[in-house]
């Protein structure tokens, strides 16, 4: 074999042994559509917000962002997708608060810290306690009086077992020796329809219920933030009602573990531009949310902190894994 052929063969061998991460880092990104998974049913507040975010990010990324839904399991159904996806930036997902809680209350095969690359924190959720407009339950205390008088008859809907609303209910009712019927739904849209139509007596969910409240079809009994909302300043918080509970679930976007730095930077920059677009700010305001931006490093730290908070909370409550 002459020197020229030997060098060509050596070069080919070297190219075939470049580590995957380095090869991905050397590729242009993106060159095809990006898939973003939303772990909630279509039509809810988070789904609609993230669809707008995807639309606004596409011009900056130079490729469409296609949104898919994987509702159920309390907002954790996108985690197995991230766990098994190639770390090439073409598969990303929303990271809602329940993913940090799930490992402490049920058996899961994924880890919300080990198996993801945090990209960007976007916002946080306003939660509220809802009844139908014609309900005889007029204030929060009415729920507790009903549960005391008729144990196990008060039906309350949330967006899933192990979600923030579900844990708040456990603190409000079960910890006080009161019983209720928990009715989990996959998404906000079907939950609000169930409350409005009388299939369940009460709903506890994120503020995708806003249009129904504003239209007078649902009544808001309490919100769960540290302060009253600007949208419904007449509605008291749980804290004002005598319960030392503040629930605001931050959320963001993440990719699989091992995203190359250049890919992470492109995704972050594209979605950051969309996050601060006036149309997205207007959209968040519709659901009584605000921008809560964190970049990759700060968001990763926030994820680790949330994970440890959920570990501590599960330990205090003695929540068994199902």
What's the pLDDT tens digit per position in 23-68? Answer: 444 579 999 999 999 999 898 889 999 999 999 999 999 999 999 9
Hey, is 183 helix, strand or coil? strand
Amino acid 93: pLDDT: 98
| Euclidean distance between CA atoms 318 and 23, whole angstroms | 46
| Euclidean distance between CA atoms 155 and 183, whole angstroms | 7
Amino acid 26: pLDDT: 58
In the chain, which stretches have pLDDT less than 50? 1-21, 23-25
Place of tokens 């492109």: 266
Amino acid 300: pLDDT: 98
Amino acid 320: pLDDT: 53
Amino acid 316: pLDDT: 57
C-alpha neighbours within 13 Å on the C-beta side of residue 260:
19
What CA dihedral angle connects 16, 17, 20 and 25, to 10 degrees?
-80
Q: Could you tell me which of 67, 31, 61 has the C-alpha nearest to residue 49?
A: 67
The continuous run of DSSP H or E covering 281 comes out as helix 278-286
Q: By the 8 A CB rule, do 222 and 214 touch?
A: no
What CA dihedral angle connects 74, 76, 77 and 79, to 10 degrees?
180
- What DSSP letter does each residue of 195-230 carry, written as one string? HHHTSSSEEEEEGGGHHHHHTTSEEEEEE-SSS--S
| Euclidean distance between CA atoms 286 and 293, whole angstroms | 18
How far out from the chain centre does Cα 192 lie?
A: 18
β partners of residue 11: none
Alpha-carbon separation of residue 206 from 82, 141, 186, 247 (angstroms): 24, 21, 13, 10
Amino acid 307: pLDDT: 95
Q: Is the N-terminal amide bond of 90 cis, ω within 30° of 0?
A: no
Q: Where are the beta strands (DSSP E) in 40-154?
A: 65-69, 91-95, 116-124, 127-132
* Helical packing angle, 45-61 and 278-286, nearest 10°: 170
| Euclidean distance between CA atoms 89 and 292, whole angstroms | 23
Q: Could you tell me which of 263, 274, 264 has the C-alpha nearest to residue 299?
A: 264
Alpha-carbon separation of residue 86 from 90, 93, 298 (angstroms): 8, 13, 24
| Euclidean distance between CA atoms 284 and 145, whole angstroms | 35
């Amino acid at each position: 074999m002459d020197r020229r052929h030997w060098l060509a063969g050596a070069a080919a061998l070297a190219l075939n042994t470049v580590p995957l991460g380095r090869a991905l880092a050397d590729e242009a990104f993106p060159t095809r559509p990006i898939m973003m998974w939303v772990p909630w049913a279509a039509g809810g507040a988070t789904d609609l917000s993230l669809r707008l975010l995807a639309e606004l990010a596409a011009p900056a990324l130079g490729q469409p962002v296609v949104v898919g839904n994987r509702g159920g399991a309390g907002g954790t159904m996108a985690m197995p997708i991230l766990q098994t996806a190639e770390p090439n930036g073409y598969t990303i997902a929303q990271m809602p608060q329940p993913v940090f809680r799930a490992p402490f209350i049920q058996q899961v095969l994924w880890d919300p810290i080990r198996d993801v690359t945090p990209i960007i924190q976007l916002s946080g959720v306003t939660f509220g306690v809802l009844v139908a407009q014609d309900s005889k339950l007029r204030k929060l205390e009415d729920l507790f009086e009903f549960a005391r008088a008729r144990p196990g008859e008060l039906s309350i809907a949330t967006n899933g077992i192990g979600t923030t609303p579900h844990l708040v209910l456990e603190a409000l009712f079960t910890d006080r020796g009161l019983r209720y019927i928990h009715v989990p739904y996959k998404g906000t849209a079907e939950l609000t329809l169930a409350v409005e139509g009388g299939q369940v007596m009460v709903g506890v969910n994120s503020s995708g219920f806003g249009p129904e409240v504003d239209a007078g079809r649902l009544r808001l009994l309490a919100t769960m933030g540290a302060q009253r909302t600007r949208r419904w300043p007449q509605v008291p918080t749980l804290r004002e009602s005598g319960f030392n509970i503040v629930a605001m679930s931050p959320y963001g976007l993440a990719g699989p573990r091992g995203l190359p730095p250049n890919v992470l930077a492109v995704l972050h920059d594209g979605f950051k531009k969309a996050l601060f677009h006036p149309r997205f700010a207007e959209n968040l305001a519709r659901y009584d949310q605000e921008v809560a931006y964190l970049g990759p490093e700060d968001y990763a730290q926030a994820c680790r902190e949330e994970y440890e908070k959920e570990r501590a909370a599960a330990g205090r409550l003695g929540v068994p894994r199902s």
